[in-house]
Structure formats: C-alpha cells, structure tokens
Structure 1
Amino acid sequence: MDGGGRLSRSVRQTQSRSAPTRKAAPVTSRSSSNPSTRRYVFEPEREDNPNGFFAKLERRLPRGLGVAATVALLIGAGTLGVIKGGHGDNVVSAFQDTRNALANAVGFRITSVAISGRKQLTQDEVLAVGGVNGRSSLLFLDAASVRDRLKGDPWIADATVQKLYPGHLQIDLVERKPYALWQLDGRLSVIAEDGTVLEPYVANRFSLLPLVVGKGAETRAHAFLDVLANYPNIRNQTRAVILVGERRWNLRLTNGLDVRLPEEGVETALATLIKLDGEEQLLSRDITSVDMRLPDRLIVRLSEDAAKARADALAAASKQKRKAGDA
C-alpha cells in the first residue's frame, strides 16, 4: 500500500506541475448546502481576453450610438454619391424649391415688387440678375445675396434690397450711364464714364455717343473729352478720338482729316488749331492731316488731288518763269 500511495502522490504532483494555473469557481448545488457536495469548474486564466475589453467598452457607450453611426454612414455615402455624380446643384435647388413652397403656402409669397432707379434694364432683367423668380418666398430670400448679384451686373453701380413682410420686395438701383463707344481690335462696346464695359454695341440708341479708339482709351477718355469740351468748334467736328501708344491722342474729324496732338500741351495745341482755322480755314482745306506734335512747327499733308494740283501749279509757274527769262 505504501508503494501504491507514493506512486499516486507522485503522479498527482507531476500533473499539478505540468498543468496551467487554474482558477476555481465554486458552484453550489441548490438541493444541498453541504460543502461536501460543492462542484468546481476550472477555466484557464487569460490576461489578454478580448471579450472583457469589448464588454467594458459596450457598457460605457451610450445607447443608440450604433443606430446613429449607421444613419450617419448612410447619409455620408449618399452625399458622396450625389457630389461625385454631379447632382449637388440639383439637390440644393430641389431643397430650396421645397422650403420656398412651404413658406409661400403659409403666406410669405412675394406678391409685389417695386424697382426704382431703373433706366437701361427692364424689371424682368433686374429680377433675373437678382435671382428672384416666381418660386421665391420673402421668408427665405437673402437680401444681401440679391444685392451682391445685382452689383455684379456692369450696369448696376449700387443697389439696396428691402424685404417688407409679408409679401413686398423693394429694390433701389443706381445705374451707370452710357458714356462712350469704345473700339478695340474692331469690336465696339458701350462703356461708362469710369471705363466699365456695359455691353457690346448692338443697339442704335447708343449711336450718338462719342467714339474712343485704342488700348487704354476706355479709362482715359473721360479726362480727354472733358478737355475737348472746352473747344466746341473742334469737338463738334470730331468723329473719333484715338489713343496712340497709350501716350497721346489723335482726332479724326468728320471730313476725314486727322489731327495729331502732342503728348503734352494739348490745350495749347487745340487753341492754336482753332486760331488757324478761324484765320485761314485750315480744317476746310483739301488736306489729310495736321501734325502738331512738334512745339515749334505745324506740318500739313495735302490730299493726293491737292498735292497733284499743287505740283502742276508749281510746274506751270516754273515754265512761265523760264519763258520770261528766255524773252
């Protein structure tokens, strides 16, 4: 028996040394409270058990977070699809139309529009530029945005937009005035006094505006035309003013005569031109150009017919002189 007992203890000791450490959890039988009837369940002890981490995390997260995350994911995926598909503007437009329809239904429809200061633009053009249409509601109309869009039109220098609830819209405009026609590279445009290009020249109502030609002429014409206005005899005969090399001006008169003005001393040159025209009818002669660029002289170029007539006259005079000498 001693040998058998020693063998049994040896086997149990060997098993205990080779087996992993176990944690015993007592399980008490409901039918008996006798300690001798307790049963034990042994589980290996693991320090890196992932189930314990996720269980703790789940207990700390608020309820409904998973549903909210799923909804956010679906919305994000839908938004990304709309953007990549190029339908963003359509979605925004549909949303705006929907909210405007709801606002109109409860009494915020724009029923009247008053526009003051309008001369060149029609009412429909003003509303179209401002982005106001039959679906717009006064409640959701952004007055600042409408004003910015209006000021983006070259004809409109300034604008004021007022919303008067429940359904009246007031727009006050300050329009730019058409000042001249500007020609560059064969294209004609209507410009304002400050040089702003208002529109391409297509309407006959602008045909009486002064014509300015050349690069840079649109911004410098106002100052020069103010000077020219002081000499109405020249101004009334001028068909176009031409900026040459962005430095000086030429005048093209209605009879086709070109007057080349100096870069400096323009007013002195114009006064001299008026004096010569009054004394010698210079501008009515058969000439093609008057060059006043040099301060100490004036150069006149005759037309072809005038030059030929002058040459013939000089030849005849010379021949007559030779005959008189021979006699």
Structure 2
Amino acid sequence: MSWREKGQRVRVLLLQADWYLCFGVVFLLCVLVGFAMVAMKLDTVLNDADALPIEAVAVKGERLYTEDSEIQVALQDLMERSFFSADVNQVQDALEALPWVYQASVRREWPAKLKIYLVEQKPVAHWNGDAWLNIYGEVFDAPIKEGIPNLPFLTGPEEQGKSVLTTYQQLGELLRINGFNLQSLSLSPRHAWHAELNNGIRLELGREDKMARVQRFIHVYPKLAQQDKQVATVDLRYDTGLAVGWDDAQKRAVN
C-alpha cells in the first residue's frame, strides 16, 4: 500500500472518529436535558400544594394553656405548602413562639400527615410582676390563663431568676415543715433577701445566713404569737436576736 493510500485511510478513520464523538456528545446532551426536564417537573409536583397537600396534622402532648386556635394560626402558612415543601424547622419555630409552648417537635408521616408534639411551659412562680418562672428557673412571658394554680410571687434582678427560685424552694420547705407558708420572696439589687408569709408577716433576712435566720424566726415565733398584737415584720439581720414590728408600728426587741 502506497503512502497516498495510507493517508486516505487515516483520513477516513479520523472522520469516523469525529462522527462517533459528535454523536456521543449529542446523546449526552439529550440525556442531560431529559434529566433536567424530569427534575423540574418533579420539583413542580413536590411543591404543588394541590397535587401533594398536607391532609392531616396530629397534635399531641398535654396542653393546659395553649388553645387550638393559636396552633391553627401558627400553622396557617404551613397549610398553604405541599407535604414535601413544608419546612419542619420553620413550623417548629412558629410553634415555639407561642407564649405557653416550651418545646415543639415536628415530623412528616407518609403520605400526607404531619405529627406535632408539644411540651408546655410549667409555671412555678410569678416573676417581677408580669412574667413567669418555669420549673427550670427560666423566665418567660405569657398571658394569664384560667386554671393556673396560686403561685408564689418572686422578684429580683432579671438574671437571678434561677437563684431566687432555688432559694424560695429551700426556705419554703423549711417553713412548710414548721407550719408556715412562704408566699413571696424578693432579692434586692444589693442582694438582700425579703420574704413574706401567707399570714402577712414580712421577714427581713439580709444577705447572709438565710436558713439560719429563718430557723431563728421559727424558734422564737411561739413567743411572739402569745402577744396581744399582730406581728407585722421581723427583722432578722442581727447576729443574735431580732427586731419585731407590730401592726401598731411599735417595735420591741426580742433576745
């Protein structure tokens, strides 16, 4: 075979290779376009609330203060979305924004249902007048609801909620087992403690030795109760003894 014939054969082979390459590129492009169209169609269907609506929402968890109407408002935007496009994190945030909801969890259940579990705040005390403390000593704001039990009134610096609650529980237990009921407790900006019993007696406890001072009050109270006047205040901010304020504003020293 001459060099000329060899050259012609090589050119034919190169043309065939170019044709196969072009065919392969065109086929690949067609496949990619097909996949893109399918993905767009699938995305449209998955985000179509009419095609894949959320048909049911199941709400579980003990609820005392959160009403169905509040939950419906929180889920209003969700119900306009499809089962797959609904953002469960967004739904969770919307539910936890409700004043009496402490925690919410949301999950999808095939084919068209959402399951929601709510944990409500458990108030244990009023805090600074218009707020509440929960069982963890955390401050939260919520409107007053029917059915909330009588709770103690605690006050103090905003960041001291947990500390005031812990002190209330300790002092309250000591007083309770001795026949008293601690109704309110406050911590001043200078960290002095003031307590009030349900019988109206106010206790000035100062900054230190709160438990020992309350124990001193418990020990001496039977003597005070024998008097013919009602005790108004008992100042326990002394190393020994105490000062008593009576309803007529007269004071007597008791040692």
Normalised to the residue count of structure 1, the TM-score between the two structures is 0.54
- Mapped contact 2:182–2:197 kept (Cα < 8 A): yes
Q: Distance in 2 between matches of 1:260 and 1:127?
A: 49
- Mapped contact 1:114–1:170 kept (Cα < 8 A): yes
In structure 2, relative to structure 1, the CA distance for the partners of 1:286 and 1:105 (3 Å cut) is: closer
Residues 1:230 and 2:173 are matched in the alignment = yes
Q: Distance in 2 between matches of 1:230 and 1:162?
A: 42
- Mapped contact 1:112–1:167 kept (Cα < 8 A): yes
Q: Which residue of 2 aligns with 1:26?
A: none
Q: Give the alignment partner of residue 218 of structure 2, picking from 260, 271, 274.
A: 274
What does residue range 23-38 of structure 1 map to in structure 2 within 5 Å? none
What does residue range 45-124 of structure 1 map to in structure 2 within 5 Å? 103-106=48-51, 108-119=52-63, 120-124=65-69
Q: Give the alignment partner of residue 209 of structure 2, picking from 248, 254, 265.
A: 265
Q: CA offsets per residue over residues 256-280 of structure 1, 9 Å max, x none?
A: 3211013121111111111112454
1:290 Cα deviation from its structure 2 partner: 0.6
TM-align CA RMSD: 3.1
In structure 2, relative to structure 1, the CA distance for the partners of 1:264 and 1:130 (3 Å cut) is: farther
What does residue range 128-207 of structure 1 map to in structure 2 within 5 Å? 128-183=73-128, 187-193=129-135, 194-200=137-143, 202-206=144-148
- Mapped contact 2:184–2:196 kept (Cα < 8 A): yes
Q: 1:225 is aligned with what amino acid? A: Y
Higher alpha-carbon Rg? 1
Runs of at least 5 residues in structure 1 that lack an aligned partner in the other structure: 1-98, 311-327
In structure 2, relative to structure 1, the CA distance for the partners of 1:285 and 1:188 (3 Å cut) is: farther
In structure 2, relative to structure 1, the CA distance for the partners of 1:210 and 1:234 (3 Å cut) is: farther
In structure 2, relative to structure 1, the CA distance for the partners of 1:287 and 1:234 (3 Å cut) is: same
Q: Which residue of 2 aligns with 1:95?
A: none
Q: Distance in 1 between matches of 2:54 and 2:179?
A: 50
Q: Give the alignment partner of residue 208 of structure 1, picking from 146, 150, 153.
A: 150
- Mapped contact 2:59–2:117 kept (Cα < 8 A): yes
1:284 Cα deviation from its structure 2 partner: 8.7
Runs of at least 5 residues in structure 2 that lack an aligned partner in the other structure: 1-43
Q: Distance in 2 between matches of 1:248 and 1:174?
A: 35
Could you say which structure has the higher helix fraction?
1
Q: 1:163 is aligned with what amino acid? A: R
Normalised to the residue count of structure 2, the TM-score between the two structures is 0.67
Q: 2:163 is aligned with what amino acid? A: R
Identical counterparts, % of pairs: 21
